[in-house]
Structure 1
Amino acid sequence: MISRTEFEQSLSTESVRTSQIIHIALALGALLFFGVVIFLYFNGTADAEPEEDVIQALCLVLIVFGMTAYGAAMFVYKKMFAEISLAEPVMTSDGKTIVNQAEIFVARLRSAQIIRLALFQGVALFGLVICQLSVMNGLMHASPVYWAAALPTLFVILLVALTFPTKEKLAADFELYRETHNG
């Protein structure tokens, strides 16, 4: 297995940039939807009679969905990280084969990160749908407590900020991988 120094030297800027773009894109999806909710809150008018029972039920579903998805996200990420194999080359979507161990590691780590972020984003988008429904039926103006359904969006942004891939962070992840795989 290559050393951390060899990892850093053989890691391409393109590979790091690809991971960064994916992180930004997943965060922007939730942020843009949040922007729509904010716009509707300040510029929209309530179309219907507030149905607080439905919103409360959706909030309970959000809590259960969130706990389940967050647990699954962490479990799947750890499992995928533990099962990374540098011995097997990776096929890219354009048919190229990656044999460089640094690039193989980043490609497999990226897959684990995408799944983790997608699960977090799913919860965030569901919470934002609750916010949007609350705004559209006038409930948000009457009970601002329903803004709490937007908190999963904050979790996505925090996760992206804390795990945003840089060459240094990827090297640290690789070092952790080396330690756990007796490298």
Structure 2
Amino acid sequence: MNRFQNLSLDDFRAALTRPQISSMQIIQAFLAFGVVLFAGVVILLYASLGSPERELPQDFAVQTIWLMTVVHLVLAVIIYLAAPRIENLIYKQAKNNTAASATAIPLAVQALGVMRTARIVRLALYEGVALLGLVICYLAMTMNVLVAHPLYWVNAATAVTMIAYVISTFPNAERLTTIFHEKLRQAS
């Protein structure tokens, strides 16, 4: 039984007030802001390294960064495959949660809460792996590995991916209505 099935798109749109949209935009923007801020710090520190005549990294440093990069990339693949499934699981559980229907909170507001929760969970997973990649870049920089082996900038790819995802899915009324229709209103 899908508890959101009888909620019309018009009723959902009526609950989709400017403050509701703004709260989702603020959450999404600030989850990305931490990644952007830390990426900026890493890039500024790298740019301030000065002359490229720094000492070569020790072998253990290169091996450590290589191992961390492999772990990061494997974790990134797992996260980017799991996050959409976890988000869909949140939607599925919310649709079938008949106990929540008995609350005094209007159904459209409940739907927005579910959408907010699902988005936060997905973005938190992306943010975690993005920050891990940036930390590896920072460590590689402090161990002189990044100057000698710029290939390890690949660890920043998850940060770029997360920022691109945030920008491409930034909430607006139309996008939220589409998500409601596709993820919550349609039958399981």
TM-score when normalising by structure 1? 0.87
d(CA) in 2 for partners of 1:62 and 1:9? Answer: 43
Distance 1:171-1:47 versus aligned 2 partners, 3 A rule? farther
Structure 1 spans left out of the alignment, 5+ residues: 91-96
Do 1:8 and 1:171's aligned partners in 2 also have CA atoms closer than 8 Å? yes
Q: Does 1:75 align with 2:85?
A: yes
Indicate the residue corresponding to 1:149 in structure 2.
155
Structure 1 residue aligned with 2:135, among 129, 134, 137? 129
Report whether the alignment pairs 1:33 with 2:43.
no
3-state secondary structure, aligned to 1:83:
helix
Per the TM alignment, residue 139 of structure 1 is displaced from its structure 2 partner at its CA by 1.5
AA of the residue aligned to 1:39: L
Give unpaired runs (5+ residues) of structure 2.
1-5
Distance 1:172 1:98 in 2: 25
Note the C-alpha offset of 1:102. 1.8
TM-score by length of 2: 0.85
**How much has 1:89 moved relative to structure 2?**
5.6
Between 1 and 2, higher relative CO (CA 8 Å, sep ≥ 6) is seen in 2
In structure 1, the partner of 2:105 is 99
Length, aligned pairs only: 175
Give the Cα–Cα distance (whole angstroms) in 2 for the partners of residues 143 and 155 of structure 1. 22
Q: State the Cα RMSD in Å.
A: 2.1
1:27 and 1:157 in contact (8 A); partners too = yes
Q: Cα 1:47–1:31, aligned 2, differ >3 Å: closer, same or farther?
A: farther
- Secondary structure in structure 1 of the residue aligned to 2:7: coil
Q: Which residue of 1 aligns with 2:65?
A: 55
**Distance between the aligned counterparts of 1:81 and 1:164, measured in 2?**
19
Identity %: 32
Deviates more, 1:124-133 or 1:70-79: 70-79
2:13 maps to 8
Letter in structure 2 aligned against 1:9: A
The question of whether the paired residues in 1 share the 8 Å contact of 2:25 and 2:171 is answered with yes
Q: What is the CA distance between 1:48 and its match in structure 2?
A: 8.6
Change (3 A) 1:101 1:166: same
